[in-house]
Amino acid sequence: MTRAELVNKMSLDLEFIKLSLAGNLVGQTIFYRQETGSTNDDAFELGCSGAPEGTVVIAEKQSSGKGRLNREWHSPAGVNILTSIILRPSFSPELGPLLPIMTGVAVAETMNMYCPEKVHLKWPNDVLINERKVSGILAQIKMASGRIEFIVLGIGINVNMLRDQFPAEIFESATSLRDEIGKEVSRIELIIRLYENVAKWYKALVNEGFEPVKRKWLAMTPMIGKKVRVMLREEIHQGTAIGISNEGALILQTAGGKEVKISAGDATIIKE
Ligand code: BTN
C-alpha cells in the first residue's frame, strides 16, 4: 500500500468521526460502504425505512454516482468525499430548494478553510475554486401527504484526486482540493468540518429563515451584476444576475428590463 492510500484509508476511521461529532445533528448515525451504486440511493432507501434526521452514508466508490440534470458523477475510489445526508425539515415544500442552497454554503465555507478567498458559489450550488468545480450537490426529496417527509443531500467533493484522474470531459472545468493547495488533505478532518457546517447552516435556516444563508451565498458568488446564461434542456435564459429569490431561484434581469426567476438549470457567466 502506498503512503497516499494509507493516509486515505486511515482517514475514514468511523469511530473517530463519530466521537468528534458528539452532539452534532449530522453524523450521529453513519453507514459506510466500500462500494455502492449511489450514496443518494442508499440514503433514500434508509430514509424510507425511517432513518433519523442527520443519518449519513459515506462511500469510497460509487458504480453509478448521480449528478444534477441526469448527469453522472465520476470519482476514483478512496480519494474523494462521496456522502449523502438525510434531513427531515418541517417547513413547507416550496422551501425545499433552499436546502441544497444551504448545503452549498456549508460546503463552500468548509472549502474556504483550506483555500481562503478562492472559493466561489455558482447557482444553484456548485462550489468552485479558481473557477473550476470542486464540489457538486444533488438533492432528492421524498414527499408524503403534501409535506416533505425527508430530503437526501448528496455531496461529492474532489479532495485528493490527481489531475490525471479527471475524465477528459471535465478535465478543464473541474479541480480537486489537493490540486489547488498542492498537498494532500485529511478526509477525516474535512468530513467532520463538513458535517459540522451542514448542521450549523441547517439550524440557521430552520431557526432564522433564509436571510443568513442568502447573505452568505451572495457574499460567496461572483455572479451578481454579471451577464449570465442559464440552460435547461432546450430552454435558454440570458440576463444580468441580480439576486436569488426567497425560494432559491436565480433572478435575472433581461435586456428588455424584465425580471425572470429561474428555478433549475445550468448557469454560466458570459465572459465579455
Ligand atoms: C452535480 O451534478 O453537481 C451534483 C453531484 C452530486 C454527486 C454526489 S456524490 C455523493 C452523492 N451520491 C450520488 O450519486 N450523487 C451525490
Condensed to tens digits (0 to 9), the pLDDT of residues 164-213 reads: 999 999 999 999 999 999 999 999 999 999 999 999 999 999 999 999 99
Closest ligand 1 atom, residue 135 Cα: 3
Ligand 1 geometric centre to CA of 197 (Å): 18
Q: Is 84 in the pocket of ligand 1 (CB under 6 A)?
A: yes
| Confidence grade of residue 218 (pLDDT, cut at 50, 70, 90) | very high
Closest ligand 1 atom, residue 67 Cα: 2
- Does residue 51 contact residue 29 with C-beta atoms inside 8 Å? yes
Residue nearest to atom 9 of ligand 1 (CA): 156
Q: What average pLDDT does the chain have? A: 94
* Residues 6 or more apart whose Cβ sits within 8 Å of residue 86: 43, 46, 47, 51, 52, 53, 54, 55, 56, 150, 151, 152
| Confidence grade of residue 5 (pLDDT, cut at 50, 70, 90) | low
Does residue 242 surpass a pLDDT of 60? Answer: yes
- 213 vs 100: CA distance, rounded Å: 11
Q: Is 157 in the pocket of ligand 1 (CB under 6 A)?
A: no
| Confidence grade of residue 13 (pLDDT, cut at 50, 70, 90) | confident
Ligand 1 geometric centre to CA of 65 (Å): 6
Residue nearest to atom 7 of ligand 1 (CA): 156
**The pLDDT value given to residue 10:** 44
- b/e map 87-113, b = 16+ CB within 10 Å: bebeeeeebbbbbbbbbbbbbbbbbbe
Query: Which residue among 42, 63, 138 has the greatest number of ligand 1 atoms within 8 angstroms of its CB, and so is best to mutate?
Result: 138
**The pLDDT value given to residue 2:** 54
Closest ligand 1 atom, residue 83 Cα: 10
**The pLDDT value given to residue 15:** 85
Q: pLDDT of 146-158, one tens digit each?
A: 999 999 999 999 9
Region 70-85: mean pLDDT is: 96
Query: Which residue among 56, 64, 85, 155 has the greatest number of ligand 1 atoms within 8 angstroms of its CB, and so is best to mutate?
Result: 155
Q: Is 136 in the pocket of ligand 1 (CB under 6 A)?
A: yes
| Confidence grade of residue 6 (pLDDT, cut at 50, 70, 90) | very low
Rg (CA), the chain: 18
Task: Name the CA dihedral angle for 34, 55, 15, 59, rounded to a multiple of 10 degrees.
Answer: 20
- Does residue 243 contact residue 236 with C-beta atoms inside 8 Å? no
Q: Is 156 in the pocket of ligand 1 (CB under 6 A)?
A: yes
Q: Is 59 in the pocket of ligand 1 (CB under 6 A)?
A: no
Closest ligand 1 atom, residue 40 Cα: 12
